[in-house]
Amino acid sequence: MDTLAVFVLSEALDLADGDREFFLSLANLFLQESPKELAAARAALARQDCRGLAAAAHKLKGSVLPICAPRLFERAQRLELLGRQGDCAEAEPVCADVERCLAEVHAALRDVIAGGFPS
Amino acid sequence: MNHDSTQRIAHSFGSSAPDCFMVATILLVEDEPVTRMSMAARLKRLGHRVLEAGNGREALDVAGRERPDLIIVDWMMPEMDGPTFCEMVRRDPAMKSIHIVLMTSHDQPAQIAEGLARGADDFLSKAASKQEITARVLAGLRTGRLVRELETTGAQLESSMLLLQTKQTEMEADLQSAAAFVHSLLPPPGSPAPGFSLAWEYQPALTLGGDLFGVAAIDADHLGLYILDASGHGVAAALRSASLMTFLRVENILQLIGSYDPATVLREANRQFPLSAEGEYFTLWVGQIHLPTRTLSYASAGHHGVLLSPAERPSRWLTRPSSPLGFDQAAVFAGDQITLQPADRLFLLSDGIYEAPSTTGEPWGRWRFQQAVEAQQHVPLAATIAHCFTEARRWQAQSDFLDDAAVVGLELSV
């Protein structure tokens, strides 16, 4: 069982110094940008470009930090490492895992955007 | 540097706010939009003006145009990575001292060393807490400000040095000009009167000397001569000496006292040139030769450097115990007379020559001067004087004299 949280709203808000409006802007930007990084990782993997895979995973990993999504961060980090190690074969299932985790985070963010912050 | 943008906001923190709290212009270079937005917001919340660039090339343009106080740059970026950007900034004289913080997840010593070697000043993890980000930014701004202050101080020092050098050059030119003027007042070597020849050598300790001398016709039958020695040396002594020299001009003396009688001249000089408030004074020897009878009248005010060196008889010093000028307003200076013989040589010298110290501190001494003169009795007068200087320099083992050195020679023809 995965013990890492999908998304920790309280920490994300803390990083945004409690500025909810700013956090929503950040979340929207993440929703817009993160699929591009995932697509870049997928494309790199398809052409067995391990350096490209590592770069895309690194970028995705960086974008997750302000959002506070520990599970996605951990998967992206693992994918980056495999890319650095030149292990594209092993990276395939991890990339799929990253895709799942990203979808979870997107869903959680959309909930916050649509439903507002819990009181 | 964008100094205008760096304003203290200490008022927000009260009078005890640390110096590091200031509004600065920070350039944030990050290709990943979410991270850039998050970091930019944090810096803006700290009160800073934030400029953003998505890659190293764009950042170089912004940095060159805006001269930020601090640059935070991501290590991994397409087109130009962080370390390459650092190198480019360090190569630019206008930007080279901007403080640069490299954002990285690299924490291996080799990678840190590479970042430092390529121009980074500090490192920041993207996962750093907001407290750490705040602390590193403030530390970077503080360091950057100190570097700018050092550069400013260095530039001011360099500017002051240039100004000083210019002033010194001007002053040296003035001194050279003054020295040339004083030199022009000294008697020309040659024949100051029928049957007499004159030669001299003079080396001031500094550009301007305080020891001066004169040989000039008083009238058709009289030749006047003097040597004065001002205590101290340099510009102040030279100015005082020039004043006494003006006083000793024949026209002035004749107008003041009606004759060039040496003892009377000294009495009047003693009255007009009292000891200065700084304790400065003159020694002075004045002589007058009655040309038809070759009678030398002379008097001395504390000056011991006049030697009569006859061709066939022992030399003798023409002086007697007396006070320098200005010590006692009522002082009386005794006059003496001798008759000069053909081929006699008279040497007027300043103490700078015979007090020239050896490396152990022993003065060359009047008797060594006398020996040098007597050994050179049969060579031309100018050569004898040159020999004296050579011997004194050999004695003190250096070319320059610590005090003004002057030797004036007057020779009667055979």
Contact B224, B287 (CB under 8 A): yes
Q: Using the beta-carbon criterion (under 8 Å), do A63 and B126 form an inter-chain contact?
A: no
Give yes or no for residue B291 having a pLDDT over 90.
Answer: yes
Domain spans in chain B, listed from the N-terminal domain onward: 3-157, 186-412
Question: pLDDT at position B7, please?
Answer: 43
**Residue A88 belongs to a domain:** yes
**Tokens, residue B12:** 């927000």
**Residue A4 belongs to a domain:** no
User: Can you say whether residue B232 is alpha, beta or left, with left for phi > 0 and alpha for psi between -120 and 50 degrees?
Assistant: left
**Residue A3 belongs to a domain:** no
Q: For the domain B186-412, what is the CATH superfamily, name and number?
A: PPM-type phosphatase domain (3.60.40.10)
Share of chain B above pLDDT 90, in %: 66
Task: From chain B, pick out residues whose CB is under 8 angstroms from the CB of A67.
Answer: 34
pLDDT band at B107 (very low <50, low <70, confident <90, very high): low
Looking up tokens 């800073």 gives: B48
Looking up tokens 């145009």 gives: B65
Q: Using the beta-carbon criterion (under 8 Å), do B34 and A67 form an inter-chain contact?
A: yes
Q: Closest-CA residue in chain B for A13?
A: B38
Say which of A17, A19, A58 has its CB closest to residue B76. Answer: A58
Helix spans in B92-194 (H): 109-117, 130-185
The count of domains in chain A is 1
Q: Say how far apart CA B23 and CA B364 lie, in whole Å.
A: 72
Distance from CA of A15 to the nearest CA of B (A): 7
Q: Using the beta-carbon criterion (under 8 Å), do A63 and B35 form an inter-chain contact?
A: yes
Q: Which of A34, A61, A63, A78 should one mutate to test binding to chain B, selecting the residue with the greatest count of B CBs within 10 A?
A: A63
Give yes or no for residue B10 having a pLDDT over 80.
Answer: no
Question: pLDDT at position A116, please?
Answer: 81
Q: What does B288-344 look like in DSSP terms, one character per residue?
A: EEETTTTEEEEEEES---EEEE-SSS--EE---S-PPBTS-TT----EEEEE--TT-
Question: Per DSSP, what are the bridge partners of residue A48?
Answer: none
Domain holding A101, by residue range, is 9-114
Q: Say how far apart CA B273 and CA B325 lie, in whole Å.
A: 7
DSSP-assigned letter for residue A66 = G
Q: What's phi and psi for A64, nearest 5 deg?
A: -75, -30
Distance from CA of A89 to the nearest CA of B (A): 24
For the whole model, what pTM was predicted? 0.57
Q: Using the beta-carbon criterion (under 8 Å), do A33 and B130 form an inter-chain contact?
A: no
**Which CATH number do you get for residue A78?**
1.20.120
pLDDT band at A1 (very low <50, low <70, confident <90, very high): low
The tens digit of pLDDT for each residue in A60-101 reads 999 999 999 999 999 999 999 999 999 888 999 999 999 999
Q: Closest-CA residue in chain A for B130?
A: A15
What is the C-alpha end-to-end distance of chain A, expressed in Å?
Answer: 29
Distance from CA of B42 to the nearest CA of A (A): 8
The tens digit of pLDDT for each residue in B141-193 reads 999 889 888 988 988 999 999 999 999 999 888 888 887 887 888 999 999 99
Angle at B96 between CA B91 and CA B97, to 5 degrees: 160
Give yes or no for residue B78 having a pLDDT over 90.
Answer: no
What sign does the dihedral B78-B81-B84-B88 (CA atoms) show? positive
The fold for domain B3-157 equals: Rossmann fold (3.40.50)
What sign does the dihedral B127-B130-B131-B134 (CA atoms) show? positive
